[in-house]
Amino acid sequence: MTVRSGLAKGSKEAESYLRLIGLRKSYDGIHYAVEEVSMDIQKGEFVTFLGPSGSGKTTTLTMIAGFEEVTSGQILLDGKDLSNLRPWKRNIGMVFQNYALFPHMSVADNVGFPLRMRGWTREKRRERVAEMLNLVGLNTLAARYPRELSGGQQQRVALARGLVFEPDVVLLDEPLGALDKNLREQMQIEIKRIHSEVGITTIYVTHDQTEAMTMSDRIAVFSNGRVEQLAAPLDIYHRPATLHVASFVGETNIMLGKATGQNGVLEVTELGLVRVEFNQNWDQNIAEYDVIVRPEHMKVLGDSEPSNLNRFELVVNTVINYGDRLTLVGSKGSLPMRVRLDSPSELPRRGDVIIIGWSPADTHLIPRRPSAG
């Protein structure tokens, strides 16, 4: 099959392969399901639209596919404006959550259906279908019907059908939502493998942060019809741009910090005016920040721990034992805190008061509001 190699990241052509420019979608002319969504997606890139229900991610996807009309804005694919083209003229593959397989057709006929609609000869269809079924590991099941397949096998058929006609872009709308946890994880690996082999530009919609983190080159985090951040998974996790991104992607501890006037130090009132150090560049014209610390960056301190760590006392309320790690749910006054630890030899108990610390390098700041005056 044709393997599409992605262009070098950062090149002008790669950055502008699929462009969304000021996309907006309104169903009533007043409220917007999608508002001012703009992004550049590179050729061969795997981008995930992540967000809760109603955030605009699926509506954006269906506008790219052509199933929803664009209220305003543009969709450019390799420089060509798709905004007013019908779906079948866009050369875009689509994989749905419910698979949408034809129950009266065999696996081979389901996969070959897009080719038949495009006028491929019988012989070319047979060769291409065999190629795709081999790619998704279903070459021995070509004669079976959807009802004779497991959920994971049906999803592979749907994926093969979405790729068989060599689309310019493939869109996947929550394709693993109906599968159980173990099968979902297996299919994540399979989809990434197939993407690596085929190299096709892929947009994947999900509300599952684990799927987004493990599968994506970049993640677009949606909220209220807008993209709050578009970045690589580790940047999304360690350097969230907004409070929504920080709280939606992974567990986090959030504290209010006030500028002290001293570079590299904030005063956290919720920790009893503890002075929190950080390494991040900051704007001294901003008076207050949300201080973000991930639970796994915190640790229980002993007497010999380095003095350069931020530290405070934590009252343990709950200990959750996962076998290979612990999560301590505790509080500092009225502020809830979570600490994730490798399983220690001695488990903290409810009511224990322990010293928690973290490195200034693990402190992330999000501006909260401008300084008054």
Q: pLDDT per residue over 218-241, tens digit each?
A: 999 999 999 999 999 999 999 999
Range of 38's domain?
12-245
Q: Exposed/middle/buried for 273, CB within 10 Å: 0-12, 13-18, 19+?
A: exposed
pLDDT tens-digit series, residues 190-211 = 899 999 999 999 999 999 999 9
Q: Is the pLDDT of residue 20 over 80?
A: yes
* Alpha carbons 295 and 327: distance in angstroms, whole number: 8
CATH number at residue 97: 3.40.50.300
Residue 1 within a domain: no
Residues 206 and 225 in one domain: yes
6 within some domain: no
Give the contacts of 107 (CB within 8 A, at least 6 positions apart).
133, 138, 141, 142, 143, 144, 145, 146, 149, 157
Encoded tokens for 50: 């992540």
Nearest-CA neighbor of 91 among 64, 113, 112? 64
Within a domain: residue 134? yes
Residues 185 and 58 in one domain: yes
Could you tell me if 282 and 232 lie in one domain?
Answer: no
Question: Is 227 inside a domain boundary?
Answer: yes
CATH of the domain at 272: 2.40.50.140
Are residues 127 and 95 part of one domain? yes
Average pLDDT in the 145-154 region? 92
Whether the pLDDT of residue 246 is over 70: the answer is yes
Report the predicted TM-score, pTM, of the whole model to 2 decimal places. Answer: 0.88
In percent, how much of the chain has pLDDT > 90?
60
Q: For residue 329, what are the contacts with CB-CB under 8 A and spacing of at least 6? A: 316, 317, 318, 319, 320, 336, 337, 338
In this structure, the answer to whether residues 146 and 281 fall within a common structural domain is no
The alpha carbon of residue 345 and the mean position of all alpha carbons in its chain are separated, in whole angstroms, by: 36
Task: Reply yes or no on whether the pLDDT at 9 is more than 50.
Answer: no
30 located within any domain:
yes
The pLDDT value given to residue 373: 41
| Assigned domain for 297 exists | yes
Q: Which of 192, 211, 245 is the last residue of a domain?
A: 245
What is the distance between the alpha carbons of residues 19 and 279, in angstroms, rounded to a whole number? Answer: 35
Identify whether residues 105 and 52 lie together within a single domain. yes
Q: How many domains does the chain have?
A: 2
Residue closest to 2 by CA, chosen among 142, 134, 165: 165
Same domain, 259 and 238: no
* DSSP tag of 360: G
Which amino acid appears at position 310 of this protein? N
* Per-residue pLDDT tens digits for 51-102: 999 999 999 999 999 999 999 999 999 999 998 899 989 999 999 888 789 9
* Residue 4 pLDDT class (50, 70, 90 cuts): very low
Is the residue at 3 inside a domain? no
Q: Tell me which of 143-157, 284-298, 303-317 is least confident.
A: 303-317
Report how far residue 97's alpha carbon sits from residue 164's, in angstroms, rounded to the nearest whole number: 18
Picking from 195, 217, 245, the residue at the C-terminal end of a domain is: 245
* 2 located within any domain: no
96: helix, coil or strand? coil
Residue 199 has which token pair?
């190299």
Please tell me the distance from the alpha carbon of residue 203 to that of residue 41, in angstroms, as a whole number. 9
Both 226 and 156 in a single domain? yes
Mean pLDDT of 317-338: 88
Q: Which of 19, 31, 14 is nearest to 225 (CA)?
A: 31
The verdict on 96 and 36 lying in the same domain is yes
Size (the chain), residues: 373
Name residue, tokens 């399901």: 33
Of the three residues 194, 218, 245, the one that is the final residue of a domain is 245
Same domain, residue pair 169 and 67: yes
Tokens, residue 70: 């664009």
- Per-residue pLDDT band for 36 (boundaries 50, 70, 90) equals very high
Please state the rounded mean pLDDT for residues 261-287.
72
Tell me: do 263 and 234 sit in the same domain: no
- Do 234 and 276 sit in the same domain of this protein? no
Q: Which residue has the higher pLDDT, 172 or 264?
A: 172
What is the overall mean pLDDT for the chain? 87
